[in-house]
Amino acid sequence: MSILNLHNSLTTYLVLAAILFGMGIYGLVTRKTLVGMLIASELVLVAASINIMAFNRFTAPDPSIGQIFTLFIMAVAAAEAAIGLSITIAVYRNYKSVDTEDLVDLNG
């Protein structure tokens, strides 16, 4: 298969989604601040969306269902970002820091 024909195979999209997912996992375990972990979790969500859209395009009988599902993932991701922002701000107000090493106090 030619390299210019990659966009017609399911495997390309699955591999791309796996790479994005791995980057998200790497960011989640490496980042030291809550905001950095929020950014990495968005990468994980977008990898899941690409996976669903790829199967939707290549194998599913009804291609509109996967698109609807991806739209719902986007809505949930937006809600998650809003909640994450407010939690980050609440933590910063209490601890004057969003560093994950400072957030060891359960009795906040």
Partner 1 sequence: MNLMDTLYSFLPDVLTAEGFAGIADEAAGVVFLIMLAVTVAGGIIACNSERLVRAVAGLAVCFVGVAAIYYFLNSPFVAMMQILIYIGAVCITIAFAIMLAAPEDNKKPGPAGPLSGPLGVITAGLVTFGMVGLAIKTQFPAMPKLNMGSVKLIGVQLLTSYSMVFELVSIVLLIAILGSLVIARHGRSK
Binders in 50-79 for partner 1, by CB under 8 A: 50, 53-68, 70-72, 74-79
How many Å apart are CA 6 and CA 22, to the nearest integer? 21
1 binds partner 1 (CB under 8 A): no
15's tokens: 């591999």
**Crossing angle of the two packed helices 10-30 and 34-58, in degrees rounded to 10:** 170
Total number of residues shown for the chain: 108
**Least distance CB 93 / partner 1 (angstroms):** 6
Q: Give the per-residue contact string, 26-55, with partner 1 (x = CB under 8 A; - = no).
A: xx-xxxxxxxx-xxx-xx--x--xx--xxx
6 binds partner 1 (CB under 8 A): yes
